Amino acid sequence: MASTKHVYNMNHRRRGFAYIINNVKFDELTDRLGSDVDEERLKERFSALHFTVQSFRNQTRTQMVDVLDKASKDDHSDSDCFVCVILSHGEEDKIYGTDGPVEVTRLLDPFKGHCCGSLAGKPKLFFIQACRGRESDNGVDVLGVKGDAEDEDVDEVAIYRIPREADFLVAYSTVYGYVAWRDKGEGSWFIQALCKVLEEHGTTLDLMTMMTRVNHTVAHDYSAGCKTGIKKQMPCITSMLTKDVFFRPK
């Protein structure tokens, strides 16, 4: 068990909001069939973790910006954290609204510590299901992978200043430059894996451990057969978290 100074305070009155932006139909792009399955699974999982879930469907780029700008201006003082899941088309550094792309940074910026004081020092968790390019991953055969981890202690003081960029986690469905796969009947690989891990370990493991298991699940359990061969996918987690995140029951 990690010491309390290395764990975010999740004992506020509310867990917090979980926003789901689900873009299925677009002005000039193909419909994202299977995304409604993702949305329903996500609602179930985050509700089970005591989040207040709100869904926003088929948002233009302006509406996406407005939804998250407004969320950042809400009072989150009695909340543990904030979650946003975006299901859409995408490219390298952009996510699509129904009418065109918007920069990922434009959607995250309102939640930085100097802009959203009631979430300063609290986890801001973004999960993005979207392509990040046009490359596809053919995979590679390996015998095994072995790694180690180590902990590092830091001092704690009563009053402290944190970086504006602190306490974010952005989990992308795929690495930069690559496509993200989605099944029309079962939903996207990444969201399937995320919901499976949250269902099995959501109240016991810390978030980064769970996301590593999501990575493992997508990397090892999913593949697509195409004319050019078997295709794989590797999620990508960008973490600026400074403590462990546990969703223990309230």
**Which residue out of 81, 84, 116, 131 is catalytically annotated?**
131
136-185 pLDDT per residue, tens: 888 777 654 433 333 333 334 344 444 567 899 999 999 999 999 999 99
Cβ 138 vs Cβ 229: under 8 Å: yes
The reported pLDDT for the residue numbered 148 is 37
Of 89, 115, 116, 220, which is the active-site residue? Answer: 89
Domain ranges of the chain: 4-134+158-239
pLDDT for 228 equals 64
| Residues 161/242, Cβ–Cβ less than 8 Å | no
Q: Chain-wide mean pLDDT for the chain?
A: 90
250-to-120, 207, 232 alpha-carbon distances in Å: 22, 17, 38
**pLDDT on residue 111:** 97
Residue whose pair of structure tokens reads 């990575």 in the numeric block: 215
Residue 139: the pLDDT is: 78
219: confidence class by pLDDT, cuts 50, 70, 90: very high
The class level of CATH for 4-134+158-239 reads: alpha beta
Q: Which residue has the tokens 């959607």?
A: 107
The C-alpha atoms of residue 81 and residue 167 are separated, in whole angstroms, by 10
Over range 30-59, report the average pLDDT: 98
pLDDT band at 53 (very low <50, low <70, confident <90, very high): very high
Known catalytic residue at 76? no
Residue 65 identity (one-letter amino acid): V
Mean pLDDT of 230-248: 96
114 is catalytic: no
